[in-house]
Amino acid sequence: MPALVAGVVLLGLLLLLARGYTGVHPRNLARGFRLSGGVLLALVTVALILMRELPLALLAAGGAWYLLLGSPPPWQRGFPGAGGAGQGPNQAGGRAQPPRSSAMSRSEALSVLGLKEGASEEEIRAAHKRLIVQTHPDKGGTNYLAAKINEAKDVLLRR
């Protein structure tokens, strides 16, 4: 019987959450569901701790951590150099970063920014701003793309 009551309460909460997110931009909808799911898992974690179900509580806490903070929890990351799937120097936030190659060439920088040879400083800055706004990690892009765009601007402006 308690499981049935908990299921009905959970279903009601999900219906309330879904009703509150109608007509919202998909990116904000995903962010809201992620936040709601993280809060829900945090509450489940507290309930499991109170019931002394520590292994399940640790699992739920890991899910809540990931949903709320966007990175694996510290107890699931492993140790660098331990030979496991831990975070090495080329990983950030659980995502592998491509290895750095040599410095970017001028032609590659022009290609990254979508410019032609002889572009003025204003054109370089405008192309950089346009691309960085579209690919910034806060807007759904990746750190790698933002770094490449910044590096291309620096190469073209000779910094």
For 62-81, the pLDDT digits (tens) are: 888 877 787 777 776 665 54
In DSSP terms, 92 is beta-bridged to 95
Tell me how crowded residue 153 is: count the other CB atoms within 10 A of its CB: 20
| Euclidean distance between CA atoms 130 and 114, whole angstroms | 11
* Residue 141: per-residue pLDDT: 77
102-156 topology per CATH: Helix Hairpins (1.10.287)
Digit-coded pLDDT (tens) for 77-130: 665 544 444 444 444 444 555 555 567 888 888 888 898 888 889 999 999 999
Hey, where are the domains in the chain?
A: 2-20+27-77, 102-156
| Euclidean distance between CA atoms 64 and 73, whole angstroms | 9
Q: Which residues of 12-25 are buried (b: 16+ CB within 10 A; e: fewer)?
A: eeeeeeeeeeeeee
pTM: 0.38
Mention every residue, 6+ apart, whose C-beta is less than 8 A from residue 145: 135
